[in-house]
Amino acid sequence: MTISVLLLTVQTLAAPLTLEQAILRARDSAASNLSAQQRLADDSLTRHEVLGHFLPKVELSASQLAQSSNIATFGIPMHGVPNYVPFYSIQDLRASASVPLVNAALWSRLHETRSSLAQRGQEKEVARELAALQGGVAWLEVARAKALTKDREDAVRLAHELTGLVEEQKQAGGATRLDLVRAQAQELQAQRALSAARLSLEKARLALGRLLGVPGGEPVDISGDLPLEPVAAGVAAKTEPVAVRAARAGREAANEAVRTARADELPTLSAFGDYGYLGTHLEKDGEWTGKVGIQASWELFDGGSKRTKVEKARVRVRLAEIAVRDARLAASQDEQDALVSVKESGEQLRQAMAASLLADTELVLAQEKFKAGASGNSEVVQAQGGRSQAHAAWIDAAGAHQAALLRLRYARGNWEGLQGGTDR
């Protein structure tokens, strides 16, 4: 995974990104996904920790002890012998081992860690899907700003052409100083709008670069243009929503927690042994000693703490059941909301297209009328302003429509088939 992300980073810096590449890159490199990976790694280490409890525990020890004793404390009367024994040395070199034979709690914890890993894996998928959506939306914002910048460049060109035409007519006596001032003001306004559009484009590219984790936070170039026509929502559902899968994994982990809590109430059986060299002076009176045994343990009453733990785990199961139902309902509502948004944004896009065509027609008619000397250039200036507003609304509507299509894909869990901003 790390190698693939690194290769994609190099590719990103070398070539513009398509919409599909931005989605895939965001899915694997967003901070939320990286955090989810670390939580998954933490649970994986917890599983290895539990597995370690099944293996024998081996310990080596060595001690040097100097002590004195009171024979009377042993409960053995020694008449005529002083009770006090002066300091003497004890040396002990020993190896000991123990291994669980029957421990239901350990097995339950092992199954619980497996369920927890599955839950973390699904949570990671949730983070990846959300990051993919954010990457797609950020790409669309760059595409929208790019389209608006191009349109503003066209507006500057039209305004500049009008200024040149007015200057020619003024020299020929067919236009007034007021007409020239109007044209120059319109050109200056178009240039300011172009500067604002370029600034918005640069900010959008920087935001996309930060989201994708581009080294140095450099701006990202995109490949492809924003589709300016409505697209039918013909995306087939691929899998069960990832949020629902994550909720079901959480419910299974909660059930395993109940089984683990109940297993803690069962008895355990283990084997142990040690062997070592013990003496007061090892080179003189040391002896090899050892012990081997089996130990059974069953805590019959602990004040009710284990029973409380079971009840708390059952509450967690009930909460998980609620989460599953809520996730299913939310997934269904998200898809329906996305479908409505696609439909409504598509209609708004059609209306914006129609308004833009009318604004273009109005501008052409105003230009022809001005060139024919039938009117001043105020109608042309007004038509150019109306055209800029209509085209900006058209581009914004196209961006909103494509974003709605992306949210529908997110709700359905299907990102395949995206090419350069076109939803197919």
Q: Residue 168 falls within a domain, yes or no?
A: yes
Alpha helices in 212-304 (DSSP H): 242-263, 282-285
Domain range for 204 is: 2-58+103-267+306-423
349: which 2 tokens?
A: 């896009």
Distance CA 271, CA 247 (A): 41
Q: What is the mean pLDDT of residues 276-286?
A: 75
- In which band, very low, low, confident or very high, does the pLDDT at 73 lie, cut at 50, 70 and 90? confident
pLDDT of residue 418: 63
- Convert 207-225 to b/e letters by CB count within 10 Å (16 or more is b): bbbebbbbeeeebbebbbe
Collapsing DSSP to helix, strand or coil, 417 comes out as: coil
> Please, how many CA atoms are within 13 Å of residue 87, restricted to the half-sphere of its CB?
4
Distance CA 208, CA 136 (A): 9
Beta bridge partners of 95: 60, 275
Closest Cα partner for 362 from 381, 347, 334? 381
pLDDT of residue 282: 53
Collapsing DSSP to helix, strand or coil, 205 comes out as: helix
94: which 2 tokens?
A: 């020993």
Q: What is the mean pLDDT of residues 386-392?
A: 94
Distance CA 264, CA 305 (A): 11
The mean pLDDT of the chain is 85
- In which band, very low, low, confident or very high, does the pLDDT at 420 lie, cut at 50, 70 and 90? very low
* Of the listed ranges 24-33, 60-69, 166-175, 198-207, the one predicted with least confidence: 24-33
Q: Would the pLDDT of 10 be above 50?
A: no
Q: Residue 73 falls within a domain, yes or no?
A: no
| pLDDT digit string, tens, across residues 82-93 | 778 788 788 889
Distance CA 246, CA 224 (A): 34
> Vertex 161, ends 156 and 167: CA angle to 5°?
125
What's the chain's Rg over C-alpha atoms?
39
Q: What is the mean pLDDT of residues 41-58?
A: 83
| pLDDT digit string, tens, across residues 313-361 | 899 999 999 999 999 999 889 989 999 999 999 999 999 999 999 999 9
Residue 204 · residue 141 · CB < 8 Å = yes
Q: Residue 96 falls within a domain, yes or no?
A: no
Residue 15 · residue 223 · CB < 8 Å = yes
- In which band, very low, low, confident or very high, does the pLDDT at 242 lie, cut at 50, 70 and 90? confident
| pLDDT digit string, tens, across residues 106-149 | 888 888 888 888 888 888 888 888 888 999 999 999 999 999 99
Per cent of the chain over pLDDT 70 is 91
Q: Would the pLDDT of 417 be above 70?
A: no
Q: Residue 68 falls within a domain, yes or no?
A: no
Q: What is the mean pLDDT of residues 66-79?
A: 78
Number of domains forming the structure of the chain: 1
pTM summary value: 0.77
Q: What is the mean pLDDT of residues 217-245?
A: 79
pLDDT of residue 281: 65
Q: Residue 67 falls within a domain, yes or no?
A: no
Q: What is the mean pLDDT of residues 233-241?
A: 64
> Vertex 149, ends 151 and 356: CA angle to 5°?
30
> Please, how many CA atoms are within 13 Å of residue 399, restricted to the half-sphere of its CB?
18
Residue 113 · residue 47 · CB < 8 Å = yes
E strand intervals along 203-329:
268-279, 287-297
Q: Write the CB contacts of 220 (distance below 8 Å, at least 6 apart in sequence).
A: 12, 16, 17, 22, 142, 205, 208, 209, 212, 214
Distance CA 205, CA 16 (A): 11
Q: Would the pLDDT of 69 be above 90?
A: no
Q: Is the dihedral of CA 334, 338, 341, 347 positive or negative?
A: negative
Residue 231 · residue 337 · CB < 8 Å = no
Per-residue CA distances from 68 to 86, 121, 414 (Å): 5, 60, 79
Q: Residue 278 falls within a domain, yes or no?
A: no
- Which phi and psi angles does 367 have, rounded to 5°? -65, -45
Between residues 424 and 58, the one the model is more confident about:
58
Q: Check which CATH number belongs to the domain holding 168 and give it.
A: 1.20.1600.10
Torsion angle of the four alpha carbons 80, 83, 85, 86, in this order, in degrees rounded to the nearest 10: -100
Q: Residue 190 falls within a domain, yes or no?
A: yes
Q: What is the mean pLDDT of residues 180-189?
A: 91
Angle separating helix axes 104-171 and 31-52, nearest 10 degrees? 170
Residue 32 · residue 232 · CB < 8 Å = no
Angle separating helix axes 378-412 and 104-171, nearest 10 degrees? 170
E strand intervals along 72-145:
84-103
Q: Would the pLDDT of 293 be above 90?
A: yes
Q: Would the pLDDT of 177 be above 60?
A: yes
